[in-house]
């Protein structure tokens, strides 16, 4: 059987105790264990592929009917991970560099989704694309809607507009799939969910945060085995 090693902290949610013990004994990089790679960054993919034992997970290996060739493998894995752990139908919101919506129906068929710039990318684009607007960080709490400073005005414009869009997508999804689960993942998931809870608590109450959706998707694929 194939064996699996992954970069990062060894967690029993991902690895059986016997494999964790072996990884810790050998310093975490035993040469006979393959590395399973899912990447949407070509430069990083090329770099990792130079290592021995690397096995690239492709879109074709994820059993989601209805995918299209340019669908990111990260979106497909997160959607698959949400479906196998939370049930179908399911909508995944990935709050990363880009903010994406990806949904599947009760037959595990890809319904589709949307992509827009994420919170930090929107802030950075204003700083890079204008002459006078500063580069700022995201606030830990909701800003005032009617702002009296330039920084607060940027916070207000980006956050309130984005939240309105998130609510609209979730509402539209629930109209089509009333019993569907909604999952949020990605690096900005906690902050976005905090904003959503403050602005639209009734919507936020139905959203499940899970940082590991991609890994749940990887773990469930038949092309990967965690057995020694």
Token couple for 80: 């698959």
Instruction: Count CA atoms closer than 13 A to 47's CA, side-chain side.
Output: 6
Options 11, 74, 107, 168, the catalytic residue: 74
E strand map for 70-165: 90-95, 98-104, 110-117
Active-site residue, 168 included: no
Rounded CA Rg of the chain: 20
Q: How far is CA 183 from CA 55, 60, 126, 143, 157, in A?
A: 28, 23, 29, 25, 25
- Edge to edge, the sheet with strand 90-95 lists 110-117, 98-104, 90-95, 181-185, 207-209
Q: So which residues are the catalytic ones?
A: 74
């Amino acid at each position: 059987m194939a064996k699996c090693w992954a970069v990062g902290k060894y967690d029993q949610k991902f690895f059986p105790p016997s494999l964790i013990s072996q990884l810790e004994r050998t310093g975490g990089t035993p040469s006979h264990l393959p590395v399973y790679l899912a990447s949407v960054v070509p430069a990083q993919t090329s770099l990792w592929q130079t290592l021995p034992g690397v096995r690239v997970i492709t879109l074709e290996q994820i059993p989601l009917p209805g995918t299209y060739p340019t669908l990111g493998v990260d979106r497909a894995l997160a959607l698959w991970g949400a479906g196998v752990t939370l049930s179908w139908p399911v909508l995944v919101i990935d709050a990363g560099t880009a903010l994406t919506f990806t949904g599947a129906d009760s037959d595990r068929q890809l319904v589709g989704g949307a992509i827009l710039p994420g919170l930090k990318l929107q802030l950075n684009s204003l700083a890079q694309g204008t002459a006078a607007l500063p580069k700022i960080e995201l606030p830990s709490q909701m800003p005032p809607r009617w702002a009296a400073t330039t920084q607060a005005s940027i916070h207000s414009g980006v956050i309130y507009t984005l939240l309105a869009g998130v609510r609209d997508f979730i509402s539209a999804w629930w109209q089509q799939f009333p019993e569907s689960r909604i999952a949020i993942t990605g690096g900005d998931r906690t902050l976005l969910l905090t904003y959503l809870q403050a602005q639209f608590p009734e919507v936020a109450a139905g959203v499940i945060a899970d940082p590991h959706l991609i890994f749940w998707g990887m773990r469930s694929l038949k092309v990967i085995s965690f057995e020694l």
